[in-house]
């Protein structure tokens, strides 16, 4: 089973941030959607969605994510911030909205916090912003945990599909 965890406090935001993930994930198996306020049930793979730029209510429920430190996870934007916080990475206040070129092609960004120098993660791709070059796609050094500071459901669907394909083939 694939769990998609919504970080959206407003149901309407899920149309933008969760529904595209569900459409992609359904090609790879059974999908269950959880809200960040709920206790997250055991699954084979997890995708933590992004949310609106000023929506930080999920930060009040970080304990609900603590069991994901040893799971197969893809964290997107807000999910990126959650995962980075779980591993005690320092999040800097940086804001960017729009498209930027990365090492893996163009990507759509909508963030207000960023890790500039990760310690527990390997950088897979970077992007150049007005405030400098920043790692935007990372993998945990020893776990099957990936994070993106961008929204791959917009321009980089293959990134999500590759993560789920590995899950479906039993390689993660």
Q: What would the DSSP string read from start to end of 112-137?
A: EEE-SS-SSEEEEEEEEETTEEEEEE
What pLDDT, on the 0 to 100 scale, is given for residue 86?
Answer: 96
The number of distinct structural domains making up the chain is 1
Residues 163 and 146 sit within 8 Å (Cβ to Cβ) = yes
Task: Give the torsion through C-alpha atoms of 46, 106, 12, 45, to 10 deg.
Answer: -10
Domain membership of residue 123 as a residue range = 2-168
Q: To 5 degrees, how large is the angle CA 13–CA 96–CA 12?
A: 5
Average pLDDT, the chain: 94
User: What is the model's pTM?
Assistant: 0.94
* pLDDT higher than threshold 70 for residue 172: no
Residues 115 and 88 sit within 8 Å (Cβ to Cβ) = no
CATH number at residue 66: 3.40.50.880
pLDDT band at 171 (very low <50, low <70, confident <90, very high): low
What pLDDT, on the 0 to 100 scale, is given for residue 53?
Answer: 86
């Amino acid at each position: 089973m694939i769990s998609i965890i919504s970080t959206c406090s407003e149901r309407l935001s899920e149309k933008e941030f969760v529904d595209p993930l569900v459409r992609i994930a359904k090609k790879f198996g059974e999908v269950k959607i959880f809200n960040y306020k709920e206790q997250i049930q055991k699954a084979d793979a997890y995708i933590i969605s992004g949310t609106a730029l000023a929506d930080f209510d999920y930060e009040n429920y970080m304990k609900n994510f603590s069991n994901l430190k040893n799971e197969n996870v893809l964290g997107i934007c807000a999910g990126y911030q959650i995962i980075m916080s779980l591993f005690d990475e320092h999040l800097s206040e940086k804001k960017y909205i729009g498209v930027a070129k990365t090492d893996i092609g163009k990507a759509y960004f909508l963030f207000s916090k960023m890790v500039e120098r990760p310690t527990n993660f390997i950088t897979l791709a970077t992007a150049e912003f007005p405030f400098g070059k920043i790692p935007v796609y990372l993998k945990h050094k020893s776990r099957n945990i990936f994070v993106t500071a961008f929204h791959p459901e917009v321009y980089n669907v293959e990134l999500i599909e590759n993560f789920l394909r590995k899950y479906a083939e039993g390689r993660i």
